[in-house]
Amino acid sequence: MKSRDSLIRLKRFQVDEKRRRVAQIEAMIAEFSRMAGDLDREIASEEQKTNNNDPTHFAYSTYARAARGRRDNLKQSTDELRTQLDEAKARHEEALEELAKAQSLEGREKAAERPVEVMSDAGYMGLRTAGV
């Protein structure tokens, strides 16, 4: 009985751990997207100030060029995180399935034990009343 309880606790912990990982990756994606949006606005503002929006032009703003590089890196990281998110969601689903299996196994074992206990109680009481 204790081993089943500890197995279910372990499975619940694993599900919670996978859920936290999914939430963490989603938060990182949201933060990176927000930062990339901020950089887009800064780039547009800098290009408007310098009146030059051609990154290949020799007089293009150094700040805007650096901001573009950071923005592109953030977008690349976001794409990689989306791949990790898909994998983390799949692992979370697997952990949920394992937990459901463990819980159903416990439920079946408890259900199988109940009739035996009821019958043994009835048999005990039947013997006791017959002896009295």
- Computed over every residue of the chain, the mean pLDDT equals 87
With 60 as the cut, is the pLDDT of residue 53 above it?
yes
Classify 54 in phi/psi space as left (phi over 0), alpha (psi -120 to 50) or beta.
beta
More confident residue, 75 or 115: 75
Tens digits of residue pLDDT in 16-41: 999 999 999 999 999 999 999 999 99
Q: How many structural domains are present in the chain? A: 1
With 50 as the cut, is the pLDDT of residue 132 above it?
no
pTM: 0.73
The domain spanning residue 117 has which CATH number? 1.10.287
With 70 as the cut, is the pLDDT of residue 122 above it?
no
The burial of 53, by beta-carbon neighbours within 10 Å (0-12 exposed, 13-18 middle, 19 or more buried), is given as middle
